[in-house]
Amino acid sequence: MILHVDMDAFFASVEQLDDPSLRGACVLVGGDSDRGVVAACSYEARKHGIHSAMPMFKARKKCPEAVVVPPRRHRYKAVSKKFMEMLREVSPLVEPVSIDEAFVDVTGCRRLKGDPEQVARNIKSRIGRRLHLTCSIGVAPLKFLAKIASDMDKPDGLTIIKPEAVDAFVKALALRKVPGVGPKMLEELTELGLHTLGDIQAFPESILVRRTGKFGLRLRSLAMGVDDSAVVPEYEAKSISSEVTFDTNTRDPAVLNRYLLHQAETVARQLRKKGFRARTVALKIKHADFTIATRQAPLSHPSQSALPIYTAAKKLLERYGLKQDVRLIGLGTAGLLPASAPVQMDLFRETAVNEGNWEKVDRTVDEITHRFGKGIIGRAEAGKK
């Protein structure tokens, strides 16, 4: 049996916990500018039709009395760390999905911890007692069903799908609730007359795969009540990125490059902290008309230093050739490798030697920042954002 534990309105709930005056209020966590987006919102706000990723100006129109609170990422990470530690007290098989949710395999815990329902109730009790927050838990023999179940009775819910109930539940499950079925896929399936996993069971597999690709095979397996996905304790990061939405649209190369440098430093710092080197750099641009463009390029060798990451992103921006103002710019890295993995470097190339030296400088800056706080030291060319 697998549990999916999902903290309720996590960011907003932490803000309401720390500031009692916000309890019962329509709380929006995000940038105070109308150009920002809602990172999270309280359940009071959701009653007004507000949801995460909604533009802030739309959210304010729906709830004029809403209180906008800037994100406090360090605080959320601190609470999340305690949350994950509590789950690992129950089972060593804990797979974090994000900062506020995780899968827990409790198959072998019955003798020490009790049956799955008892384990789930104990987790809810501990979170309430230690963190003073609530969570919703889904319990099921299949991973994807545990995820769906946790969302069925929010907030502070507990939904259990017993093994003998799986067939009936799967057959009636709406496709829009299946993880991985987005708007476009749902539209494609609807055109085929498919609305539930039960419909998938009776539909010709060859036609399904021809219309939906490999994902059709995944849907077919889920429809038959088969999900071999295991709870993986170690979370492997696939990418690390940073982006910013400007208060005023711009296409000034000096401004954009300055932000790219700050983002390169942020991303490189996270790479070093998490113990990775990146093989690929990606650039994301959102224009004033909300169209999005992405570009990517490989690094000459895997790196966790800001200099080569920034240089690659800067070249991508130059090659792109801006023709209209920019609303958002982002820098990301992918193709992550463990920092301990051997890296073949050309010692006869001066740039390789310089980059190796800059990594040492970056680590020294990390140590200074850790001791004295952010902003105490930085590259002169970065200036102020």
Torsion angles phi and psi, residue 213, rounded to 5 = 75, -155
> Which residues carry out catalysis?
101
